[in-house]
Structure 1
């Protein structure tokens, strides 16, 4: 026996009706006619950003404006996205403005393993005496590394490494080869570190270190690869904005890695994937990156079953909103090093236009207070 729950006590009538029209396009579902017992509510606000950074700035500014009106606190909001790599732009936008946030169901972008690995390569290239970074990228045990660390100040290149390491007792050949390899990498990259473009340097480090091949052995390869690609996009944005060298880039990144809101008792904006949002509810929800290839995800487009699962995820995200729902997408995104023009998600066309209000200005304070 199937019991159908028809009353929606969470969302406004508009959000409930709009999400109902969306999910009706799934063939494999329990047919239930949800009815909101709440007020009619405001229309869904749809915003097209210029790019990922503009999208994140818009969300941050909207939250700032609504907080200033003193009708909301930070934990009333939520930012939801389909894929983990999308968090980076929002983390940076929030940190620049001093908006408190917390990554739910995951960790901050710059604290993810693959990003810390790449940063360790870069920090080692800048400073070969950085023992923490060197141990991370070589994965040498604490016991063995404790024998090597005192001699790091004597090593600046592969030749130094060979002569110094050979005089240390108890170092296995495989460990020596690891160390020589990273010092050879440093020698290759070193002539370029003062150039005013970081993206080519980071790309070269990833390529010459064989880091992608290392990632292929990881069970989370696809997710980690997406994060590496997002890091490269961050490098391109830095080159466009700052035109600084690797030293300045690492200084800026340190601002994002040193600041992190993790106390669950604090008043913070939760940032999370659609999956992590299940069972939660917020007064105001921002669903971001609503574009073909992201939602529905590129890997799900060819399968009807997987496409329906993507639609169900989007439905879950929509129905997390109690009072206000924002949906955003970008006109263009930087993908695989190329700027591509995007197409908004097909799911938006499944929502009747009468439930949507397009936002054309950055300040969308059209809501009657």
Structure 2
């Protein structure tokens, strides 16, 4: 039966694909072909083992990874054979689960999903503050509690500091608000299914019968809630394959727990452990450095990466006097190296620990006219002003969209506050109707003050007028003769809600102007789409759902140097990598000491932070395929002060006996051809 497997699998990969004797942990080192193992195993289950597509679920953490897996599987098996196969993120599976089990979860079928901005707005109202730092702290704390399966009572019991006690108080009110809105947030998409599976035998049996085999990617990134979800979906059969790497666990700050890998060995005594140690990405010198660094960490599982791609170039370490010199040196070296190698800009990546390092690197690249993109930058469609306008359009197209109602009703401010919406939400939940519909019911009259009712109904009537003009019929069944052009409606919408004035009231002139230009860019794009394709406003709003396809750039990366934080670089690879700021205090980033805490506990916390920072360094090193350049600064400016820096301990830990240590000047270690490239770069800078 295994003869149909491709010959290209190495022995460890082949063993991982074929093993079906129970729970299996595939310890997959960086660049070891884990996606190939997962997709080949799905194909094997479908082709050789009699599994139906509808009984296989594969989970990962990003839409990009899920798309890649799905596309690979489609090349391996017939579409009919894969019918019903689920390859998705944890959160997408959670949405599907809650849609099907809404009644058992105490939700209406059209429950709303709040994103981080929607949730932050509720928390801001509850705290009655504009302190962004405090708001983020409370939101993060609530998220971590949810990921640890703590409800408001559990959070209150666990809270030990003044900040945690306040966050627990807000958590209780926040949970009540979401329940009244018939809404869930991002964390609830996993938390509620896990709790429902735990406590409802009917639901648990139904899903365990459906999910006959489960595959989970990046298992080291799972949190307590996700671990429990996997347990409950697989049940006593425990037919699953978990793929992960303890050396790449870098997300503790958002609730991921590396202990989940070790927990598998205790919860499943018969667990099969398979190690993928052959790396298909990097030359041996790079892997040797990565192995030396990570061996300093306590090991859950012994693992050593190796490669047959050759020894490779010596790793280059460059000390610099300051961050400006460092950025200029990196930009010049990239320009020279590209000229010498006759390669592409996208072969090069600059990685760094913190976002604040990017600005000066961008400036150096611009000075040399080097194209670049920034990984993990804010999407245009995630900007608050864009989301505000899209909320109006969503509500006009679908007045059952409660999150859109909440956002549009409160932006710009029009006398509709959190208390008004909470009362309306409770009424709508009892009646099992959308918020928009509840506004017009007589039953709500006794619950709200006349002023509150007037604000709500004035807003809702405005939305109805826009719906009529867009071609939608009125509640009495009448319909307009024709829909007005989408461009006209967009202009009238912006004018009616006075959004430009709202921006200038909320922000200083320059940021307000930038935000307004973003809005005009959005509406201009929508108008062009409407004109080109003859779309009504309703059709246009439906089409906006495809906007994320535009953000993927048609699946083709531009020819540009990639700037990225180390966290955002995980899962990616580049022929040539430059790591900036490899110095103590930055990498590792030590955080703030807890001066009020127990010294022993503080020391333990510091040791844990260093271990995670070391894993982050390991991730950065293993992004490089052919060459790796590290730089550090003797001085770095922070808050108008020049701080003396030392090279990162991780450089010494790499054991680089054959490393190249050029002088500060970027030209010292260059070949004649590189020097010519440098001259060309400087000429470009002058032109």
TM interval, short-chain normalised: 0.5 to 0.7
- 1:362 and 2:666 equivalent? yes
User: Structure 1 residues 29, 78: closer, same or farther in 2, change over 3 A?
Assistant: farther
8 Å Cα contact 1:287-1:317 kept in structure 2: yes
Distance 1:300 1:308 in 2: 16
Distance 2:672 2:299 in 1: 37
Deviations 1:96-148 (A, max 9, x none): 1111100011249xxx989xxxxxxxxxxxxxxxxxxxxxxxx9667798499
In structure 2, relative to structure 1, the CA distance for the partners of 1:262 and 1:84 (3 Å cut) is farther
RCO (CA 8 Å, sep 6+): is it higher in 1 or 2? 1
Residue in 1 that maps onto 2:197 = none
RMSD (Å) for aligned C-alpha atoms = 3.5
Q: What is the CA–CA distance in structure 2 between the aligned matches of 1:329 and 1:56, rounded to whole Å? A: 10
Shift of 1:75: 0.7
Matches within 5 A, 1:81-160: 81-107=352-378, 146=498
Deviation of residue 70 (structure 1)? 4.3
Tell me the TM-score normalized by structure 1: 0.58
Alpha-carbon distance in 1 for matches of 2:495, 2:629: 53
Residue 34 of structure 1: SS of its match in structure 2? coil
Distance in 1 between the 2:672 and 2:310 partners?
Answer: 15
Check if 1:49 corresponds to 2:320: yes
Pick closer, same or farther for the CA change 1:81–1:300 going to 2, 3 Å. farther
CA shift in 2, pair 1:355/1:312, >3 Å: farther
Q: Which residue of 2 aligns with 1:310?
A: 613
2:575 pairs with 1:283: yes
> Residue 268 and residue 66 in structure 1: after superposition, are their counterparts in 2 closer, same or farther (change >3 A)?
same
Specify the alignment match of 1:296 in structure 2: 588
Residue 639 (structure 2) aligns with? 336
Distance 2:588 2:629 in 1: 18
Distance in 1 separating the partners of 2:312 and 2:673 = 11
Equivalent pair of 1:295/1:345 in contact (CA under 8 Å): yes
Q: 1:54 to 1:297 in 2, by over 3 A?
A: same
Question: Which residue pairs with 1:73 in the alignment?
Answer: 344
Structure 2 unaligned segments of length 5 or more: list them: 1-271, 385-410, 414-493, 510-550, 594-604, 675-687
Larger helix proportion of the pair: 2
Give distance in 2, aligned partners of 1:107 and 1:334: 26
What does residue 237 of structure 1 align with? none
Q: Deviations over 1:329-361 (max 9, x none)?
A: 111111121111111111111111314211113
Q: 1:367 to 1:9 in 2, by over 3 A?
A: farther
* Deviation of the 1:61 alpha carbon: 0.3
Aligned residues: 242
Please give the secondary structure, in 1, of the residue aligned with 2:303: coil
Is the 2:289–2:656 contact (alpha carbons within 8 Å) kept by the matching residues of 1?
no
3-state SS of the aligned residue for 1:333? Answer: strand
How many Å separate the matches in 2 of 1:324 and 1:147? Answer: 50
Cα gap change, 1:339 to 1:147, in 2 (>3 Å) = closer
Q: 1:250-287, CA deviations, whole angstroms, 9 ceiling, x for partnerless residues?
A: xxxxxxxxxxx996542011110111111111110001
8 Å CA contact retained: 2:412, 2:499: no
Q: Distance in 2 between matches of 1:347 and 1:29?
A: 20
**Contiguous gaps of at least 5 residues in structure 1:** 115-138, 150-174, 187-260
Local SS of the residue matching 2:273: coil
Counterpart of 2:656 (choices 353, 356, 366) is 353
SS in 1 for 2:660: strand
> CA separation in 1, counterparts of 2:581 and 2:317?
11
Give the secondary structure class of the aligned counterpart of 1:353: coil
Structure 1 residues 74 and 147: CA distance shift in structure 2, 3 A: closer
- The TM-score normalised by the length of structure 2 is 0.32
Distance 1:145 1:74, change over 3 A: same
Whether 2:623 is the aligned partner of 1:320: answer yes
Q: 1:282 to 1:54 in 2, by over 3 A?
A: same
- Alpha-carbon distance in structure 2 between the residues aligned to 1:43 and 1:366: 15
Per the TM alignment, residue 296 of structure 1 is displaced from its structure 2 partner at its CA by 0.8
Tell me, yes or no, if the aligned pair for 2:590 and 2:609 is still in contact at 8 Å.
no
Moved more, 263-272 or 315-324: 263-272
> Residue 58 of structure 1 aligns to a residue in which SS?
helix
* 1:273 paired to 2:565: yes
Provide closer, same or farther for how the CA distance between residues 2 and 366 of structure 1 changes in structure 2, counting only shifts above 3 A: farther
Once the 2 structures are TM-superposed, how far is the Cα of residue 293 of structure 1 from its aligned partner? Answer: 1.3
User: Deviations for 1:168-190, whole angstroms, at most 9, x for unmatched residues?
Assistant: xxxxxxx9xx96x99xx99xxxx
